[in-house]
Every structure is written in structure tokens, then in C-alpha cells.
């Protein structure tokens, strides 16, 4: 089982200061992979720089020029959440390029799966706007690139960051070639991702949102994956699965209010791996989005890679939530979502 890890120290040069999304996330994750011996089991890949034409698969030329100009001016705030430094434009090109490197390796059969350990993250970035720590939409660029450069017609994007990937959804909202599935805390930033948001025009039915109430955890997430994602994926028959990974649904992440465990992340990835094996020759590529508790990030990444490597034992040193009370209403909620997507 050949599993790739895309990484380069250039990702540390996106200098965000004391921002929650900072270089220490990747330093901690890479150190943990070395300490646990996981790194030596992986195929290490160096990212390439995405071309402007590849970035333009998703983003407007004027927006790309604006980001370049801000960097050349020394950096600055793009909105109240998203900051750039002098190197951030270049790093963002390599973040998108890291996802393209993962997609290429998987599509060419060089690897069974690959994880692009990149920053800045991407799933909030729209065609013309930076949002929520994101500059270029790495996973959306990866999907567009795969459709344009390989002989495939259908890509599934699964997103389990705690925040809804509004940029990814917007990119493909009217596109029948990309199925976007998202679990996310709702109502929460950025305010999108209602269950009734299902796509438009030719893309109607190809956006599947599973908004979550604060306090739900492993059981609810696994049911969403098994009872909604799995059947819609089988109906869609993807030829590649891309995944936006956020570790912020974890119960010990202070930026959200969910109760997922490290074991829960591993279980969700197990479902995705099984679907990839069944539906698309195992083609599976991941990219990092959120997650702001360093220990959760490190152990969560290790758990995901263990699943991809076929290791049966998952190490979850953080265990279960300290507070186990959770809201009810899940049965009615999942029933409604199944009805919306004609699963019952």
C-alpha cells in the first residue's frame, strides 16, 4: 500500500504571526510523524508550483493579480480573518501545486493515496475573494485539474472540516461533474451549507450538505458518512475522490463545538478508503484545511495515514470528549437529508 505525503518547508514561510492558522501546525505534524516512525513508511513528494493557468481554473485573473500585489507590498490583511506576508503569494502557489502533485501521483497510479500537507488552506476561497484563512482553493483547483488533464468525468469532494467549504461549493454548484459533500457545524462561519443547498441548473442534486448541531460527534458523523455519503457516492460513481481534511471538529479544538475524536477521523477516512477501492481504483487524495489544536492535528494526521497504510490499530491518546452531553434530533435530521437526496 503506497501512501504519499506532499510537504515542503516553503509552507512555513506563509507568516501569519500569532494567528490560529500558523506555521507551527505543520512543524508539529511533521515532527510527530518522525517521532512515531510513520514518516518512514510514506512516499515523500515535493510539491511543484502551480501555474497561473492552473490557478485560473478556479480564480479570476484580477483576483490572482491582487494577491500577488499584496505580497509584493509586504503583505497585509485580506479580510478580518485572512492575513498575508511577503512570501504568501508564492507559498499559495505551492499549496495549490502540492494538491496537484498529490492528484497527479494518484491518477498516474504511482501511489494508492496521497496527503497534501499544505498551507494556507483553501476551501473558503471563492473565485474572487479570500476568506477564512484561505487564499487559493486548493481542492477545487485539484478537481478542475484532474478533469482537464486525465480521462475522467466525475470527481467526488468530501469535506469534513468543521466549517462549510463555501468556496468549493460555489465553484461547482452548477457542475454535474463534481459531487460536493460536506459535514459542518451549523449555524457557524461562514453561514452557508444548509441542507437545502443542493446545486443549481445542471448541477442540481450534486451538492450534498450535512449540517451538524454543536455537540454531535463520532456516531453522528459516521452515520452521515455511511447513510448519506456512501449511497450518493455509489449513485454518482466517481473516478477520483478528493478530501478536504479539517481536524477542528475534534472535541478539544477551541475554535468549534463538535465532539469528534481522533478515532472518529480514522473511521471517516476508512469509509472514504473503502468507497475509493470500490468505485475508483482506490484513487484518493487529501489536502489539509483547518484544525488548531496542535496535538489533535498531529495525532489526527497520524491516524488518517495509519488507515491509508492499512494499519489496524489507531492510537487515540486524547480519547473521548470530557463532556458527553449532546443535543437530540439527529434521527429527524438525517431523515430529512435522505429525503432531500432521494435516499429513502
Chunked mean pLDDT (size 10), the chain, 344 residues = 96 97 98 98 98 98 98 98 98 99 98 98 98 98 98 98 98 99 98 98 98 97 98 98 98 96 98 98 98 98 98 91 84 98 92
- Is the backbone peptide bond immediately before 39 cis, with ω within 30 degrees of 0? no
What is the predicted pLDDT for the residue at 326?
78
C-alpha cell at position 173: 454548484
What is the predicted pLDDT for the residue at 315?
86
In angstroms, the CA 149 to CA 333 distance is 39
Long-range contacts (CB closer than 8 Å, 24 or more residues apart) made by 333-338: 333/213, 334/223, 334/224, 334/227, 334/228, 336/195, 337/195, 337/208, 337/210, 337/228, 338/227, 338/228
What is the predicted pLDDT for the residue at 344?
76
Tell me if 95 sits within 8 A of 119, measured CB to CB: yes
Alpha helices by DSSP H, listed for 37-165, are: 52-55, 61-72, 88-107, 138-149
Count Cα neighbours of 10 within 13 Å in the Cβ-side half-sphere: 21
In angstroms, the CA 73 to CA 195 distance is 41
- CB count in 10 Å sphere of residue 48: 17
DSSP state string for 38-54: -GGGSEEEPPPPPPHHH
What is the predicted pLDDT for the residue at 236?
98
What is the predicted pLDDT for the residue at 7?
98
Catalytic positions are 124
DSSP secondary structure letter of residue 149: H
In angstroms, the CA 27 to CA 142 distance is 24
CATH of domain 3-340: 3.40.800.20
Sign of CA dihedral 182, 186, 189, 193: positive
What is the predicted pLDDT for the residue at 115?
99
Q: How far is CA 343 from CA 118, 336, 337, in A?
A: 35, 10, 8
Residue 8, classed as helix, strand or coil, is: coil
Domain extents in the chain: 3-340
What is the predicted pLDDT for the residue at 1?
82
| Residue among 234, 258, 101, 133 nearest 186 (CA) | 258
What is the predicted pLDDT for the residue at 45?
98
Q: What is the dihedral of CA 88, 90, 92, 97, to 10 degrees?
A: -160
C-alpha cell at position 103: 492528484
In angstroms, the CA 2 to CA 220 distance is 31
How far from the centroid of its chain's Cα atoms is residue 263's Cα? 18
Residue that the C-alpha cell 463534481 belongs to: 178
Q: For 342, left (φ over 0), alpha (ψ -120 to 50), or beta?
A: left
Tell me if 143 sits within 8 A of 287, measured CB to CB: no
Amino acid at each position: 500500500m503506497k501512501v504519499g505525503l506532499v510537504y515542503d518547508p516553503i509552507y512555513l514561510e506563509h507568516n501569519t504571526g500569532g494567528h490560529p492558522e500558523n506555521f507551527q501546525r505543520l512543524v508539529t505534524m511533521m515532527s510527530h510523524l518522525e517521532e512515531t516512525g510513520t514518516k518512514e513508511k510514506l512516499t515523500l513528494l515535493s510539491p511543484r508550483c502551480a501555474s497561473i493557468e492552473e490557478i485560473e481554473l478556479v480564480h479570476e485573473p484580477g483576483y490572482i493579480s491582487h494577491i500577488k500585489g499584496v505580497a509584493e507590498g509586504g503583505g497585509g490583511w485580506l479580510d478580518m480573518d485572512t492575513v498575508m506576508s511577503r512570501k504568501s503569494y508564492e507559498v499559495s502557489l505551492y499549496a495549490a501545486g502540492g494538491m496537484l502533485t498529490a492528484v497527479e501521483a494518484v491518477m498516474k497510479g504511482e501511489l494508492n493515496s496521497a496527503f497534501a500537507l499544505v498551507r494556507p488552506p483553501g476551501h473558503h476561497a471563492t473565485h474572487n475573494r479570500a476568506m477564512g484563512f484561505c487564499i487559493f482553493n486548493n481542492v477545487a483547483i485539484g478537481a478542475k485539474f484532474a478533469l482537464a488533464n486525465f480521462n475522467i468525468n466525475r470527481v467526488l469532494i468530501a469535506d469534513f472540516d468543521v466549517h462549510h467549504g463555501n468556496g468549493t461549493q460555489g465553484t461547482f454548484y452548477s457542475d454535474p461533474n463534481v459531487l460536493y459533500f460536506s459535514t459542518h457545524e451549523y449555524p457557524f462561519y461562514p453561514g452557508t451549507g444548509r441542507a437545502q443547498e443542493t446545486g443549481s441548473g445542471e448541477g442540481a442534486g450534486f451538492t450534498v450538505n450535512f449540517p451538524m448541531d454543536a455537540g454531535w460527534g463520532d456516531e453522528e458523523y459516521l452515520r452521515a458518512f455511511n447513510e448519506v455519503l456512501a449511497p450518493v457516492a455509489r449513485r454518482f460513481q466517481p473516478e477520483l475522490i478528493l478530501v478536504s481534511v479539517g481536524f477542528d471538529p475534534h472535541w478539544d479544538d477551541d475554535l468549534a463545538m463538535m465532539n469528534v475524536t481522533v478515532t472518529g477521523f480514522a473511521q471517516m477516512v476508512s469509509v472514504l478508503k473503502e468507497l475509493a477501492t470500490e468505485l475508483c481504483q482506490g484513487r484518493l487524495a487529501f489536502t489539509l484545511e483547518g484544525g488548531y489544536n496542535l496535538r489533535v492535528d498531529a495525532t489526527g494526521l497520524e491516524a488518517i495515514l495509519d488507515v491509508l497504510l492499512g494499519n489496524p490499530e489507531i492510537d487515540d491518546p486524547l480519547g473521548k470528549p470530557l463532556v458527553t452531553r449532546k443535543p437530540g434530533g439527529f434521527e429527524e435530521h438525517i431523515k430529512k437529508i435522505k429525503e432531500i437526496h432521494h435516499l429513502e
